[in-house]
Amino acid sequence: MRTLVTGGAGYVGSVCVERLLAEGHTVTVVDDLSEGHRAAVAPGVDFCEGNFGDLALLDAVMAKARPEAVLHFAGSTLVGESMENPLKYFQNNTANGIALLKAAASAGVGKFIFSSTCAVYGEPATVPIAETAPRQPVNPYGASKLMMEQAMEWQTQATGMECVALRYFNAAGASENFGEHHRHETHLIPCLLQTALGQRETFSLFGTDHPTPDGTCIRDYIHVSDLAAAHAQALRSGISGPFNLGRGRGDSVREVIAACCEVTGQKISIAEKPAREGDPPELVATVAKAAEQLNWHAEITNLHEIVETAWRWHQDYPDGYYA
């Protein structure tokens, strides 16, 4: 299939592009490299450097690539930053996302696959969370993604365009060649592994008095290669709607710290800090819908295995894509 991928130079996008190529799809990547890295784009891709919110560029890329499907990974993804700069999130994730959806619809694209997030649920009343749970985001990041989901739902209803919202829980791990490298790293596992590598003196543990058994936040960590497989399945399927992508089990921050210490063989220095604003205590997916309708489930079910792949990548590429 001819695909157009936004954010294909980013963390999840790069691993997904690798998978699409392996499955024989044709891939055009649009990425402005503000977060992504040129070296993260696999060979064999038609790469276009630019912002997906640039309408003239989009028209030109649509005309050249003639995509049958758009996979939309690009966006702003940090809860903390969204609390400080909400309009960046509504501009990049909502306004520009809708412009992309409109350009895709105008170009006759039949399928649109969107990287959504468990942050659309906010602080759910019950965990694990089903796709039918109320969507009540507690931060601008989740709210900006929810508005995009709603635009897609109405577009499907009005036109029959297939729109799939893949609600990632916590992406983690690496493929052999592509891993997690943010210019300003704030994510749990890379921060821990950078501390193990001696690149940070101390790891800051945000929040130890959450209403969870050990007081730290619980998240559902899902391997990035499993996320890529879910996109490939969504591309094959003829369905629309939201799907949770997780392992269906939660690990606390303290459990992730323990796994990182074991995998790296290092004693990681920890500084306990106040909770980060906007962090819900517990987010774990129910995964039945994806299993039934996408024929997808996480292949890597063990947290240690996820951390091992990330550790291998961090050791192979200690400077990430700057190497």
- Just list the catalytic residues: 141
Residue 310 is a binding residue for ligand UDP (CB under 6 A) = no
Out of 6, 155, 170, 225, point to the residue binding ligand UDP (CB under 6 A). Answer: 170
Closer CB to ligand UDP, 23 or 84, in the complex? 84
Give the interface segment with ligand UDP, choosing from 14-22, 32-40, 198-206, 228-236 (CB under 6 A).
Answer: 198-206
Residue 174 is a binding residue for ligand UDP (CB under 6 A) = no
CB-based contact 171:219 (threshold 8 Å): no
Residue 194 is a binding residue for ligand UDP (CB under 6 A) = no
Out of 66, 88, 276, 289, point to the residue binding ligand UDP (CB under 6 A). Answer: 276
> Smallest distance from the beta carbon of 211 to ligand UDP, in angstroms?
13
The SS3 call for residue 205 is strand
Least Cα distance to 250 among 172, 139, 134 occurs for 172
3-state SS record for 142-195:
HHHHHHHHHHHHHHHHHHCCEEEEEEECEEECCCCCCCCCCCCCCCHHHHHHHH
Residue 217 is a binding residue for ligand UDP (CB under 6 A) = yes
Give residue for tokens 């490298």.
181
Number of residues that bind ligand UDP (CB under 6 A): 15
Residue 221 is a binding residue for ligand UDP (CB under 6 A) = no
Residue 312 is a binding residue for ligand UDP (CB under 6 A) = no
Residue 230 is a binding residue for ligand UDP (CB under 6 A) = no
The contact mask relative to ligand UDP for 92-111 (x = CB under 6 A, - = no) is --------------------
The SS3 call for residue 230 is helix
Out of 26, 51, 150, 186, point to the residue binding ligand UDP (CB under 6 A). Answer: 186
Give the interface segment with ligand UDP, choosing from 4-12, 56-64, 65-73, 180-188 (CB under 6 A).
Answer: 180-188
Least Cα distance to 71 among 140, 12, 145, 157 occurs for 12
Closer CB to ligand UDP, 161 or 191, in the complex? 191
CB-based contact 169:218 (threshold 8 Å): no
Residue 79 is a binding residue for ligand UDP (CB under 6 A) = yes
Phi, psi torsion values for 211, nearest 5 degrees: -75, 65
Residue 69 is a binding residue for ligand UDP (CB under 6 A) = no
> Smallest distance from the beta carbon of 205 to ligand UDP, in angstroms?
5
d(C-alpha 192, C-alpha 261), whole Å: 9
Task: Give the residue nearest to ligand UDP (CB).
Answer: 217
Count CA atoms within 13 Å of residue 256 on its CB side.
29
d(C-alpha 175, C-alpha 266), whole Å: 23
CB-based contact 284:201 (threshold 8 Å): no
Task: Report the interface residues with ligand UDP, using CB under 6 A.
Answer: 79, 170, 186-188, 191, 204-207, 217, 219, 253, 276, 279
